[in-house]
Amino acid sequence: MFFNKIYVLVNQNQKEIKIEKKLNANQLLNTFLNTLLFLLTVLIIYYSPPILEKIQPDSHGYIDYNKTRQTFYFLLYQFLNKLNVDIIFFQNVFLSFSIVLLVNFINEKTNKFFSIASYLLIVTNIYYTSFSKTILTESIFFSLFNIAIVLFFSNEKKKNLILFGLVSGCLASLKPIGIPISLFLISIFSIRIKKINRILLMLVFFI
């Protein structure tokens, strides 16, 4: 009887080890595929034909400080400039990251067909991707909105609440239209989670 129990325990441990190894292998594969998809997206956006010029009439209001403009983009531009990072390169990378994140979320909630269809619809919309090649707030706004949508449906962890609050705050400080959009998202989000302490945690980082 004693040896039978030991045999059962050993078998259970071996099965758990096999399951753990399989999970780790799947995670590595997913990470590898997501990295490839991210790099592919960066290249697609980079080589897609630009519809908009890099400098638009409104661009100077973000390159140089302008009281009529919200300061978030100006501060981001100045910060990246100090680091010798091209704002266009950053916008491409950030938009690509947000697209891959959104597509992964769609795949998780629906199926591969809808996720692939969504990806193709997004990356082949050259008007949408062209904003990443110009000095305007739109590309960063689109990226933040993509991330906000993913976080909106992922409120189980505290870090997601914090990130959602931060992203919503950035949306509000980027464009005037971002204020009603972020307030709407936060209102619906608060109704969904129904816990005062979690709502307050999110609002602290939103403000």
Q: What is the pLDDT of residues 49-98, one digit of tens each?
A: 989 889 888 888 888 878 778 889 999 999 999 999 999 999 999 999 99
Give the span between the Cα atoms of 65 and 71, in whole angstroms. Answer: 8
Higher pLDDT residue, 154 or 20? 154
The Cβ-side half-sphere exposure at 10, using a 13 Å CA radius, reads 6
Q: What is the pLDDT of residues 167-189, one digit of tens each?
A: 999 999 999 999 999 989 888 88
Structure tokens at 1: 């009887």
Neighbours of 145 (CB within 10 A): 19
Are 127 and 46 in contact by the 8 Å Cβ rule? The answer is no
Instruction: Name residue 8's amino acid.
Output: V
Q: What is the pLDDT of residues 90-139, one digit of tens each?
A: 999 999 999 999 999 999 998 899 999 999 999 999 999 999 999 999 99
Give the span between the Cα atoms of 37 and 96, in whole angstroms. Answer: 9
Q: Is residue 9 pLDDT above 60, yes or no?
A: no
Are 151 and 167 in contact by the 8 Å Cβ rule? The answer is yes
Neighbours of 124 (CB within 10 A): 11
pTM of the model: 0.84
Contacts of 63 (CB under 8 A, 6+ apart): 74, 77, 135
135, 54, 100, 174 alpha-carbon torsion, rounded to 10°: 10
Instruction: Name residue 114's amino acid.
Output: F
Token look-up 């259970």 returns: 12
Q: Reduce the secondary structure of 60-120 to three states and give it as a string.
A: HHHHCCCCCCCHHHHHHHHHHHHCCCCHHHHHHHHHHHHHHHHHHHHHHHCCHHHHHHHHH
